[in-house]
Amino acid sequence: MTSPRQNRPSQLLQPQRQPVATRDASTILLLRDGADGYEVLMTRRAAQGNFANAYVFPGGGLEPQDADPANHALARVRQGMVDAGGELRITQALAGIRETFEELGVLLAYDETGRPVSPAQVQTLDRKASLYEQCRALGWSLAVDQLWYLAHWTAARDLPKRFNVPFFVARMPEDQTAVADETEQFEPTWIGPLAALQRFAEKSLVLVFPTERTLQRMAAFADTQAVLDALQSENLLWHSCPRTGYLQGQDTRHMETDMAYGELEFVHPDGQAGHHLDWQFEQAVPLRKNLLRLTAPNPGVMTGPGTNSYLVGDASTGYIAIDPGPNEPAHLQRLHDAAGGDIRYIVCTHSHPDHSPGAAPLQAMVELSGHARPPIMGLPSAPTARSNSRFKPEITLRDGERIALQGQGDAGEITHTLQAIFTPGHAANHLCFLLEEDALLFSGDHILNGSTTVVSPPDGNMIDYLDSLDKLDAICGEHGVNHILPAHGYVLGSARQQIAKLKAHRLAREAKVHAAMRAKPDGSIQDWVALAYADTPQALWPVAERSLLAHVERIQTLCLGR
């Protein structure tokens, strides 16, 4: 398998740069159960310095003493913890225990008899002296075995000071009380995750992004034991290095699970801020020097923020227009103008009414402006297509056929090559396109960001759809594709993971469909939808019926094949 490669640096919108190096740190979430659910210990940071006045979990930077083998000998550990993270995991855990003691006077440790240290014993220690030396003198061990690896955060690439931090969780030691050092930490506060988030929404509690998102995840657990149970495999629940975008007038952070993350990674791979994420229709959005996106003003349930039209190329080569969209004159005029009228080819991923009707009007617009008439390319609609999805291109593209743009002059270099990939499933005439020089996949409606595509028989076919996913996965592996540009939604990153996730989702849904069919063998499509799509808003069930029918056809075909 070819590893994902970076797109041509020459096509990046901004010069490459090296983000600031990270500093290693460690954090512990101390948990306790209360009458209204479990709570987490938070403290307010000082009014100056990092995270000023923000409420955080205790922790701090790793120090050389945390990695000292002599101090590791003080740690009582679980074997699974060592197997999963090695000596580094012990170093991180010790740093978290040490910082929690220095900041709050809370100590996770065992005394010389092997019992958890009592509050009275903890109070005999000097919080400003070496914790390790004091424990060694007393014969105590540090309770690394009580820490569970919850998550890992690496600070966003645009920050001037960056931390690399494992987040551990542990039960609050019985009868101990947090007392802030009044230097770095103030106002120890026990609060439930939902209550903290509510106060944050009300602007009465300052939270930094990793703390906010951690609390959101923690709010899903019923109690402390539920949190610990989820971590018994020694695998963390998430690992994130957020990226920054500009949305609704302000800088916003986005995790890998957020829809905009892949686009931020794609447009500014080194973490430069400033990419606008608001959907707008009036102007082209630069994604690369050789790639523009214009979104048609047709948002809706089936189209998301609207249909994405793409322009591939540059002023020296002319442009390829991918999916001109609906026959919307203002949108087509903007496509024309963004290319300076120099559109050499118009290609359609498929014949649906939000993708291909704009092709002929755009062609006429280009010709009227004095440029050569660009051919309309794609696959003709199949007889199974609905009446509003009829399409006949001037040039029929074969699977694997290439469309090339080259620079000026007879010896101009070919710099932008689109390869057509036949991917039936969503529609019988669906094509995806690979921009070979930059290893980018234009997925049409086969892969979307934010939703799964509808597969509607008879023109849609679930067997073909899943086979096409496998085909795209193989192409992504062969060419090192890491980014997918869908016809609806932001750019997607981690291409092969996205494809695997999408296929797993479809097969999981099919298992629910099959279970519904077995539960109600004489049921109607509506009966089966109510069971198989019980986790989907009822308003979407009429649309879900179409994909359910495609699953039924696949199930029946596979059963007959046996």
**Please, which residues have CB within 8 angstroms of residue 70's CB and are 6 or more apart in sequence?**
132, 136
256 part of a folded domain: no
* Mean pLDDT across 116-128: 96
Helices (H), 237-368: 261-267, 329-338, 359-368
Q: Is the dihedral of CA 355, 360, 364, 367 positive or negative?
A: positive
In angstroms, what CA-CA distances link 182 with 27, 71, 148, 240? 18, 27, 28, 31
Q: Are residues 473 and 374 in the same domain?
A: yes
58-91 residue pLDDT tens: 999 999 999 999 999 999 999 888 888 889 999 9
Classified as helix, coil or strand, 529 is: helix
Predicted pLDDT at 36: 85
178 close to 28: Cβ distance less than 8 angstroms: no
Q: Are residues 223 and 304 in the same domain?
A: no
Q: Which domain range does residue 535 map to?
A: 509-561
Structure tokens at 433: 């396109």
Q: Are residues 516 and 478 in the same domain?
A: no
Predicted pLDDT at 138: 97
Predicted pLDDT at 411: 57
CA nearest 246: which of 212, 280, 269, 278? 278
556 part of a folded domain: yes
Q: Are residues 107 and 31 in the same domain?
A: yes
Q: Are residues 102 and 202 in the same domain?
A: yes
User: For position 446, which CATH number holds?
Assistant: 3.60.15.10
129-184 residue pLDDT tens: 999 999 999 999 999 999 999 999 999 999 999 999 999 999 999 999 999 988 88
523 part of a folded domain: yes
152 part of a folded domain: yes
210-260 residue pLDDT tens: 999 999 999 999 999 999 999 999 999 999 999 999 999 899 999 999 999
pTM above 0.85, yes or no: yes
Q: How far apart are CA 442 and CA 425, in angstroms?
A: 16
pLDDT for residue 200 is more than 70: yes
CA nearest 435: which of 317, 299, 260? 317
Q: Are residues 519 and 426 in the same domain?
A: no
Count how many residues are written for the chain: 562
Q: Are residues 69 and 121 in the same domain?
A: yes
Q: Are residues 484 and 519 in the same domain?
A: no
